[in-house]
Every structure is written in structure tokens, then in C-alpha cells.
Amino acid sequence: MTTTSVTSRRLLPADPATRRIAERLYQLIADLPILSPHGHVDPGILATDRPFRDPATLLIRDDHYVTRLLHADGVDLASLAIGQGEISESEARRIWRIFCDRWHLFAGTASGYWLRSTLQDVFGVEQLPGDADPDALFDALSESLAAADMRPRALLERFDIEVLATTDDPLDTLEPHRILAADPGVRTVVRPTFRPDAYLDPTAAGWGDRVERLIDSVDQNGYEGYLEGLRASRRRFIEHGATSADFGVFTADTAEIDPSSAAALFDRARRGELSATEARAFRAHMLFESARMSTEDGLVMTIHAGVFRNHHTPTFTGYGPDRGHDIPVATTFVEPLRPLLQRFGTARGFHLILFTVDETTFSRELAPLAGFYPSVFIGAPWWFLDAPDSAARFRAATVETAGFYRGSGFIDDTRAFLSIPARHDMARRTDAGYLARLVVEERLSIGEAERIAVDLHSAIPRRAFKL
């Protein structure tokens, strides 16, 4: 990973004695290759390796963590060309100016940090949006983007990404993954991730059609065909390099329902006859069944729980999903996951990584669960919590109960390809700072801290995600 100078004090502790130790630890890990075992980069951009379009589309328009803060400042999503396909250069310049005028809104935010790092470390610009002339900056960035060394595969190499996982639909062809795997010039292992949410929730729009196509892909019918369709798709993902299956759920409810009752629910779901309660029960059952499949085929199970998706209906209706109004809610794991853990919690080889945006669960639930169940790993700070202060709180909330070795290791979980190095660098710097404090407080020896620093960014994610 070659990003910011390793001599920068960025994100390191203020106290000089602590900082010296943090710098020593950071230097050990600054250049480790990037492991990105969970994220949302479109594999198509890597397979085709076309140059990126203009900077406004790349950095603003298509990043809803950026557009949500512009929207909060009163900028209409329409004026940002959200959902409008390719835009003209003049349109892109207009959007770029809207953004530059509001650069101060991003001060202190994670998104602002990724943007700044991307501009400084990937593009090498000196003046930031708040100081630079917007048009001159747009021109400079556009020129950079046209160069061969800013093509997606060139960046993959430059970022030193050893593993990059994408997130994919069960019926996806995985053709980009095949192309990348077959190309000896691509040294990064690009792995698909099985993400079946839209097939497990009977209330999701299009569930019936999707399930029908899934069943059509195998020889069996009905509920058995549905389960076999999922299993077959998982096998196909594994053949293409997948090591994990991901589940985005509102609650972490799980339930064991006997096969004939489950089949009956499934049949009624296809006829649109489930009550809301029955639909919830079916979802909970399918999360349980997905754990069972993981114990059979070895895919790591990751759960991202506790988000109210598409909170503002007019925005969802007008612009579709992923527009910045998915809002976290209070979450609990202890009782909802219990049916699953009773059955599979100590199953050999089963890995269950739990992600949350409700920080209260870190010390209360996730660290205690991971401190007992060999299957449970604490997911890295996710999403809004993937930021320096939140990451520090995460360590302080989990390590005292579960240590360093029950976490998943850092994941970037991003669509924003260019921000990947900055995100991993942030995690390495904040980990170095946290470990340095423990050394200063005589809670770890420097030797222990060195081993842990390296493990956190190598052995730990390799083991948790079975890389």
C-alpha cells in the first residue's frame, strides 16, 4: 500500500511519547498489502478497465455518502444528476462547483477524510476544493483520469490490493470475476460474495420472479428447489473464489422452522399470502438455514443488521435505493441470534461475523458473544462508524472483553474504489495509536503490540474471512 507518507502524523496520538510508539507500530504495517474481504466495488470496472469518467461523476455523483451531505444542505438530488446515467462535461462541472462551494460541510467527516486522501494521495493535488479554483481543479483531475496509470487495473496494482471481494447477486454470471481470474496480468484475487437478501425476504419487491428464476436453475421444484437453488449458487460462487456470504437484515432474528412448515410458508409466500408476521418468521428461518449451509459449504457468514432502509419514501420513489437515507436503529443480537447459535454456534469451521451500526452492542453483546462462541467474530466498525474516533471507541469497547483476536479485521465495505487505500490506512493508523496507548500504560509490551499490529492487518482478516 503506497499512500500517505509514513512520516505523516495524520491520525496518530498527540502525546509525543505515545506518538513515537505509534509511529514505530505504524511503520511495521503501513506497507502491508491490502486485504479487502468485503466491499461493493463493481467488478465490471476492473474487467473492462475503461478509464473513469469525469471527477464529478466519480467522486461526487456516484457516492451517496457525499451526495447525502449536499442534500442535507438543501441541494436537490435532481440537480446532482442522481439516477440520470452519463452526464455532459458542463453538467459535471456544475456539480463539481456545487461540491467545492460546500467543501466545509465535509470537514471532520469520514467522507471528507476519504475525499481529501483521494485527492492528495491518489491524484496528488496540492490545493483542496475549499482553496482551489473549482474549474482548474476539475481540469487537473480530468487530465489525471485520462492517464493510463489511473485506469482501474493500474490502481489495483498501485494500491497493492492482494484480495478484493465484491458483493453479488446469486444469479449473477460472475463473468467479470472469470475474466479477471483468467488474466495473468491481474495479480489481485477478485472474489465474489454471495448476497441473497432479495431471495430470502418474501416482502422484497420482485421476490417471486427472482425465486422462480432461482428454482429454474436447478432440477428440483418448490421449497426443495429453492433451497437447492441457493446451495447451487453458493457452490458456483465458491468455484469463482467466494469465501463468504453476506446478509443485510433489519433485525438479526433467527428461527428454526421444521421443513414441512417452512415449505408451506414458502408456497404461501409465492402466492402472496403471508402475513407480516409470517414473512418475518420466514426471513428468520432462512437466516437460520443460511447458517446451516455455511456449516456445509464453509462460506463465512457475515450479517449486517439494524438499518432502516430508504427512510424517506419520496426520495426512494424518485431516485431508488442507496441515496443516503438508510438510517441505523437500536439493535440487539443476544436473543435474536440465539436459535442459530444454539444449533451452529460451536460448529467446527463455521464463521459468523457480526456488523452493527449501533455502538451500544460492542461492549454489551458482540464482545461477550465473540468471547465465548468460537464461530462469532466481531465485525469491524461499519459504515458511519468507519471513521477515526468511532474506530477508537470500537477498540476500547471490545478489546477488554474479547481481546484482539476475536475481531474480523478491517473491511472497507466501499463502492468508492479510489478511497480504499485511505480507509485501510486510517484503520492502520488508529490501531497503531490504540496499541501505543496500551504500551504507554504498560498494558502491553512493545513486542506484544508489534505482533498484534501485524496480525490485525494480516493474519486476523485472513483467518476470519478464510482468505
Residue among 169 and 405 whose Cβ is closer to a copy of itself: 405
> Shortest gap between Cβ of 352 and a copy of itself (angstroms)?
12
Q: Is 53 in the site for a copy of itself (CB under 8 A)?
A: no
Helix (H) or strand (E) holding 74: none
Q: What is the rounded CA–CA span in Å between residue 106 and residue 214?
A: 43
CB 12 within 8 A of CB 22: yes
Binding mask 82-121 toward a copy of itself (x if CB under 8 A, else -) reads ----------------------xxxxxxx-xx--------
376: which strand partners? 352
Residue among 170 and 433 whose Cβ is closer to a copy of itself: 433
DSSP labels, 156-169: HHHTTEEEEE--B-
Of the candidate residues 2, 127, 203, 346, the single one contacting a copy of itself (CB under 8 A): 346
Residue among 194 and 404 whose Cβ is closer to a copy of itself: 404
Q: What is the separation, in whole angstroms, between the first and last Cα of the chain?
A: 18
Of the candidate residues 190, 262, 380, 444, the single one contacting a copy of itself (CB under 8 A): 444
Quick one: how far is CA 8 from the chain centroid?
27
Q: Is 159 in the site for a copy of itself (CB under 8 A)?
A: no
* Sheet strands (E) in 309-396: 327-328, 352-356, 376-378
Of the candidate residues 27, 48, 50, 72, the single one contacting a copy of itself (CB under 8 A): 72
Compute the CA torsion angle 157, 158, 161, 162 (nearest 10 deg). 50
Q: Is 230 in the site for a copy of itself (CB under 8 A)?
A: no
Q: Is 250 in the site for a copy of itself (CB under 8 A)?
A: no
Q: Please list every residue from 377 through 396 that binds a copy of itself, using CB under 8 A.
A: 384-385, 387-390, 393, 396
Candidates 2-10, 85-93, 158-166, 263-271: pick the segment binding a copy of itself (CB under 8 A).
2-10
> Shortest gap between Cβ of 342 and a copy of itself (angstroms)?
6
* Sheet strands (E) in 13-158: 34-36
- Residue 328 CB neighbour total at 10 angstroms: 17
Of the candidate residues 228, 328, 454, 458, the single one contacting a copy of itself (CB under 8 A): 328
Give the β-pairing of 307-308 and 327-328. Answer: antiparallel
Residue among 90 and 313 whose Cβ is closer to a copy of itself: 313
Q: Is 12 in the site for a copy of itself (CB under 8 A)?
A: yes
- Residue 10 CB neighbour total at 10 angstroms: 14
Nearest 5°: the CA angle 440, 427, 377 is 95
CB 386 within 8 A of CB 380: yes
> Shortest gap between Cβ of 120 and a copy of itself (angstroms)?
11
The cell numbers describing 184, all together, are 495473468
DSSP labels, 170-202: TT---HHHHHHHH-TT--SEEE--B--HHHH-T
Q: Please list every residue from 18 through 47 that binds a copy of itself, using CB under 8 A.
A: 18
Binding mask 269-308 toward a copy of itself (x if CB under 8 A, else -) reads ---------------------------------------x
Q: Is 363 in the site for a copy of itself (CB under 8 A)?
A: yes
Amino acid letter, residue 375: S
Amino acid letter, residue 316: F
Residue among 156 and 435 whose Cβ is closer to a copy of itself: 435
Amino acid letter, residue 318: G
Of the candidate residues 24, 178, 268, 312, the single one contacting a copy of itself (CB under 8 A): 312
Q: Is 462 in the site for a copy of itself (CB under 8 A)?
A: no
Of the candidate residues 371, 415, 462, 466, the single one contacting a copy of itself (CB under 8 A): 371
Of the candidate residues 401, 415, 458, 462, the single one contacting a copy of itself (CB under 8 A): 401
Of the candidate residues 3, 13, 55, 170, the single one contacting a copy of itself (CB under 8 A): 13
